A and B are shown apart, each in its own frame.
Chain A
Amino acid sequence: MASSPDSHSPSEPLLETPLAAAHGALGARMVPFAGYLMPVQYPEGILAEHNWTRTHAGLFDVSHMGQALLVGPDHETTARALEALAPADFVSLAPGKQRYSQLTADDGGIRDDFMATRPADPAADGTLILVVNAACKGADFAHIEANLPSTVKLVQRPERALLALQGPEAAMVMARHCPEAADLDFMTALPLAFDGVPVEVSRSGYTGEDGYEISVAAEDAPALWAALLAEPEVKAIGLGARDSLRLEAGLCLYGHDINLSTSPIEAALNWSIQKRRRLEGGFPGADRVQRELAEGPARVRVGLKLEGRAPAREGAEIASNGEIVGRVTSGGFAPTLQAPIAMGYVPPALSAPGTRLDILVRGKALPAVVTALPFVPTRYARKQKTGG
């Protein structure tokens, strides 16, 4: 029996998060991921962890992700500095609000995707809080620093851990330790106290469930982790279930569904580029993004539901009437749906939900149907519908 191992150069020592001891105590299976030794699963396994997160609350260590501050003299200056590198409208971002965006390349490809938060505290105005992907953080921070005006500085935050609490019972659990968190709307953030410990809490995540991401000083992370894990609704969840959860939610994984060759429009991330930026441009790759918005992209990311039980994995070819039309970028078994699902790129003419395609797996054409994303309805805590 053999499978392709996680790629890791043994010459580089693996980093650990501040919760490494906690994972060890739980019996986690640790694997190399983005230069870190991370828990891929705990003893109950990926399926059980996935289902627990969908029905109760899952606790994730995502401390490997890159946290940083962009610090400038005022909000507009800092926001414009970030807008020079990413296509979202950060100038109009209200205090306490978060926005998802991408660092784009000059040709419109995606260098990374990230979250930016404008602090709620007026004293912190002029700062934007960034969270980027672990595998990209070194390159991202160098790229950002090299392109900032002299009045705006990037301050990395390696001294902080990041935890995610996700699932329908996350709010109930969080309220016991941090009552104000209950008032947060989806994609908003506040500096709060968790059992008296200062934390930065946002109502966000990457599972499709309601929940929080909690940034905390590394030295306080083990106590916070232990306090949440002590709650009966909470179990520790590894990267394996994080991947199956985000796939069911139709969310992109950088390096797989999006990369330097995919544009935000091809990736169907149009919603993350607000109107003013579409019109004005002024970000790397704006020409391509504006052209694809006007004329349509050559290919577009879609969801695919396979018939039968065989999963299609990343790299599998997508065919229509015997002709190869695209490739799977993420694929696996969806525990919630008890069926294999995938995401991949196809020509726009074949992207309408209901379109029947084939995915080639080990020489067999497996029938698949284009399916609207997300595969599993999201349950974000939205108090009111907000415009794109």
Chain B
Amino acid sequence: MTVRYTKDHEYVRIDGDVAVVGISDYAQGQLGDVVFVELPEIGKSVTRGKEAAVVESVKAASEVYAPISGEVVEVNSELEGAPGLVNEDAEGKGWFLKLKVTKPDELSELMDEAAYKAFVDTL
């Protein structure tokens, strides 16, 4: 399975033609306690670099950008009652949404895990 990251700290995990999107473990650590996640409607088209969701910590709201373009096919409804999953397991159970990828070549512009790690180390 391929995982890629953006400089804005979203991740996308490719599983066949479906992409699982969320925020990185580094991002959840920076945000602090997540108290609410606003997810898009199923069927919505999202464009790479544009808002796909909103994550709210105790302190502030942050936009989550789509790391890759696609159509929303599923959202993580567990986050509604348990937004803390984002803190506990950002890159696992704390995923935000699944996309049917429309522009797979966009993936090549994202960082792989090693590159993202190196990027985070510079912050």
- Measuring CB to CB, which residues of chain A are less than 8 angstroms from any residue of chain B? 1-4, 40-41, 45-48, 50, 240, 243-244, 309-311, 313, 332-333, 335, 340, 362
Interface 9-mer from B12-20, B51-59, B70-78, B110-118: B51-59
Contact A47 to B58, CB < 8 A, known contacts A311-B36, A333-B35: yes
Of listed B54, B59, B65, B83, residue having the most chain A CB within 10 A: B59
Can you list 8 residue pairs at the A/B interface with Cβ under 8 Å?
A46-B58, A47-B58, A244-B58, A309-B35, A311-B36, A311-B61, A332-B58, A335-B58
Secondary structure dominating the interface of B:
strand
Q: Contact: B36 with A1, CB < 8 Å? A: no
A311 to B56, CA, bound (A): 8
Known: A1-B27, A41-B32, A46-B32. A333 touches B56 (CB 8 A): yes
Measured between beta carbons, the chain A residues less than 8 angstroms from B61 are 3, 311, 313
Q: Name A45's contact: one of B23, B33, B36, B65 (CB within 8 Å).
A: B33
Closest to A314 in B: B60
Q: Who on chain A is nearest to B60 by CB?
A: A3
Contacts of B32 in A (CB 8 A): 41, 45-47, 240
Tell me the nearest residue of chain A to B58, going by C-beta.
A46
- State the CA gap A2–B49 with chains docked (Å): 11
Chain A residues with CB under 8 A of B9: 1
Is B62 interfacial (CB-CB < 8 Å)? yes
Query: A1-B8, A2-B65, A3-B60 are contacts. A309–B80 as well, Cβ < 8 Å?
Result: yes
- 7 closest residue pairs by CB, A with B: A3-B62, A333-B35, A47-B33, A46-B58, A1-B8, A309-B36, A1-B9
Q: Is the CB of A2 within 8 A of B62?
A: yes
Chain B residues contacting A48 (CB-CB under 8 Å) are: 33
Would you give the shortest CB distance from B72 to chain A, in whole angstroms? Answer: 17
Residues in chain B near residue A50, CB distance under 8 A? 58
Minimum C-beta distance from A99 to chain B (A): 31
Q: Which residue of B lies closest to A308 (CB)?
A: B36
B27 nearest CB across to chain A (Å): 6
Check B41 for interface membership: any CB of A closer than 8 A. Answer: no
CB distance from B35 to the nearest CB of A (A): 4
Q: Please, how many angstroms separate the alpha-carbon atoms of A41 and B31 in the complex?
A: 11
Q: Which residues of B contact A310 (CB under 8 A)?
A: 36, 38, 56
Q: A3-B60, A3-B62 are in contact. Are A362 and B54 (CB under 8 A)?
A: yes
Assembled-state Cα–Cα distance A235/B27 (Å): 25
Interface centre among B10, B55, B56 (most CB of A within 10 A): B56
* A1 adjacent to B58 (CB under 8 Å): no
Q: Which residues of A contact B33 (CB under 8 A)?
A: 45-48
How long is the Cα–Cα vector from A244 to B63 in the complex, in angstroms?
21
